[in-house]
Amino acid sequence: MKSSRQPERKNQKRSKSLVDLCRPVGEISAGFFVHTMTKKPNKPLIAILIQRECSRLISQVKSLEKLVHEVYSEKEYQRLLGIAEKWQELLTNEECKKRLLNALYTFAETYRDQDDYLQEDYYELLFQAGIYRKAHWGHVRECLGSFSDCMNDFGAVLPEYKQKFRRKYGQPSVEEQSRLLKKQLSMMPSRRGIELLEHGLMDENGFVPLGKDRAFEILEEKKRMPKPGKVLDFFRRKT
């Protein structure tokens, strides 16, 4: 059955902004304390678990390419819906996975209808899986800084941390790994909390002396202030 979707969708623009894809893990509280920071996330553990999660995700998406070249199977269609349920439950970046799930549901629908856009929708799914991985890493690096102390120049976690992980957790199930990573991510400060800390509006214990409302007003004022570098570039630009 052919689809009535218009061919213009081939020219739709994809947003590749990684930072905008994710929201803070936690929201700013209504009180004076923004984030207690009594527990710090374990960066090597986060690195190992994110690598495992993203590796599973990419491998699973690549395994779906065969459906592009096969006739419709109700069993495979139901499997796609099952994968979507698992992703909804186990993927740990709540905001980043929305577009990924939308791409999977679109691919499943196109597969069911044997649509002419099946190949294109598969590539979109693969693209969104890559975006999820980059956005996931971008978010934790923005909140926690560099991971160079526990990863080498090629992005691999150092062997000593992998050994510690195996000694402590053995071979945890996918569900257990998801639970561990969600717990670690919940300890990260929100982006707004980081901004307050960087501008001296909050101390390391998460206390905001000026109060939340006034502190946020100051943040917005600072964002609206022109940056000297831009003025300098204007006068130095070539005509």
Q: Give me the pLDDT at residue 104, please.
A: 97
Q: Is the dihedral of CA 41, 45, 46, 47 positive or negative?
A: positive
Q: Give me the pLDDT at residue 196, please.
A: 67
How is the chain split into domains, by residue range?
Answer: 41-188, 189-239
Cβ 79 vs Cβ 64: under 8 Å? no
Q: Tokens for 219?
A: 């943040």
CA 167 to chain centre: 28
Q: Give me the pLDDT at residue 206, please.
A: 64
Specify the 3-state DSSP secondary structure of 20.
helix
Q: Give me the pLDDT at residue 164, please.
A: 97
Q: Tokens for 144?
A: 């926690």
Q: Give me the pLDDT at residue 32, please.
A: 43
CA-CA distance, 37 to 39, in Å (whole number)? 5
Cβ 139 vs Cβ 93: under 8 Å? yes
CA angle 51, 53, 59 (to 5 degrees): 95
Compute how many other C-beta atoms are within 10 angstroms of the C-beta atom of residue 65.
13
Of 92, 208, 206, the C-alpha closest to 139 is 92
pLDDT per residue, tens digit, the chain (239 aa), is: 555 554 444 444 444 333 333 334 333 343 444 444 447 899 999 999 999 999 999 999 999 999 999 999 999 999 999 999 999 999 999 888 999 999 999 999 999 999 899 999 999 999 999 999 999 999 999 888 899 999 999 999 999 999 999 999 999 999 999 999 999 998 887 666 666 666 676 666 667 777 767 777 777 777 777 765 544 444 444 44
Residue type, 65: E
Q: Give me the pLDDT at residue 199, please.
A: 65
Q: Give me the pLDDT at residue 222, please.
A: 74
Q: Give me the pLDDT at residue 20, please.
A: 39
